[in-house]
Amino acid sequence: MSDVFEEFVKGVNASPWGLVRDEAEQRLLWERPKGFTAQDVGRLAWGWLHKDWHGPVLDHFFYTDWKMRQSRPEELARFEAAQPLHARAAEALAEVDALLAQGAEVTPQLVASLVKLARTAIGGAR
């Protein structure tokens, strides 16, 4: 009898978050056939989730995030090591934006720096 029940409920997501998330995804599939993001689904579902469930769902998200970070220390170390590079790239892009906003031309040296940062970020530094 339990096998029949398990087969019947297989694929049924009975958690409140799972139910509203699935409904939000279905709604977005219908409303935005060209695409949407995970954040779009999450925000729509969060808005539909009854306030009584906000605390338990957030606790679950925090726990999941914590466990994921703990289970992948190498990935976390790479991410943290890349932060200075990301900061330098953001500064260089801000400099490009400021120069372009002033009508100035971007120098070849700045372009070379951006290319080097990009190559380093994707693992193909030269």
The whole-number pLDDT of residue 14 equals: 63
Specify the amino acid at residue 68. M
Q: How far apart are CA 97 and CA 1, in angstroms?
A: 66
- Lowest mean pLDDT, pick from 11-20, 47-56, 67-76: 11-20
Query: pLDDT tier at 1 (50, 70, 90 boundaries)?
Result: very low
Query: pLDDT tier at 29 (50, 70, 90 boundaries)?
Result: very high
Question: Where do the structural domains in the chain lie, given as residue ranges?
Answer: 2-71, 73-121
- The model's pTM: 0.47
Q: Which of 64, 39, 14 is closest to 47 using CA atoms?
A: 39
Q: Is 28 in contact with 36 (CB distance < 8 Å)?
A: yes
Residue 25 has pLDDT above 90, yes or no: yes
